[in-house]
Amino acid sequence: MPTPTKGARLGGGPAHERLMLANLAASLFTHKSIKTTETRAKRLRPVAERLITFAKKGDLHARRRVLATIGDKTVVHELFTEIAPQVALREGGYTRITKLGFRKGDNASMVQMELVLEPVTPKVKKSKTSSAKAATPVVEEPAAEEPTEAPVAEESTDESTEAPAEADAAVDAEEAK
């Protein structure tokens, strides 16, 4: 469990807070979605995501670490056999918190906390490097004509630094047309 927060605990002492978070995590893994207060959900998120990360490892040591937090073997079995394979490709962010409004009795902010079990779609990276790579074949075509002149330019070092600048200016002039 992450480092306990300073100040008042949820419902009592630190032991009670650990047990309450373990029960909330067990309910989340059993029902895939729970309705709770915003404060409890924010405290539960790191605990639940850490348990899911252990379940993704899938080895005996990870199973025993999860069993140390959640005492119910059926919930741990469900976490390792059903939930972990569904989030195997996801790199964190296994839970989603959606605000619902305020509770009628004490006006506490209520949220719906659920597991994100949708499959991950790989994103196509669009950056300046990919657009530059697309533009480089156009620039390289005129440069391919110059290898016959390159050995001449290598003889004098001053001309070798000026020759590419002149070639780039010529390519830019052609692209402007």
CA distances from 116 to 17, 66, 98, 139 (A): 25, 19, 12, 45
Rounded Cα distance, 67 and 3, in Å: 19
Q: How many CB atoms lie within 10 A of CB 57?
A: 14
At 164, list the tokens: 């590419």
- More confidently predicted of 3 and 106: 106
Residue 138's SS3 state is: helix
CA distance 76 to 59: 13
Least confidently predicted of 87-96, 107-116, 140-149: 140-149
pLDDT reading at 163 higher than 80? no
For the sheet with 95-102, list strands across it. 33-37, 109-115, 95-102
Task: Give the span between the Cα atoms of 80 and 57, in whole angstroms.
Answer: 9
**What is the band of 49 on the pLDDT scale with cuts at 50, 70, 90?**
very high
Nearest to 87 by CA among 51, 110, 122, 118: 118
All structural domains of the chain:
12-113 (3.90.1030.10)
Question: Whats the size of the chain, residue-wise?
Answer: 177
Element (H, E) at 48: helix 38-57
135 vs 116, which has greater pLDDT?
Answer: 116
* Share of residues in the chain with pLDDT > 70 (%): 68
pLDDT at 25 over 90: yes
Predicted pLDDT of residue 61: 96
- For residue 15 the two structure tokens come to 């032991």
Torsion of CA 93, 99, 100, 104, to 10 degrees: 130
The pLDDT of residue 166 is above 50: yes
pLDDT tens string 54-85? 999 999 999 999 999 999 999 999 999 999 99
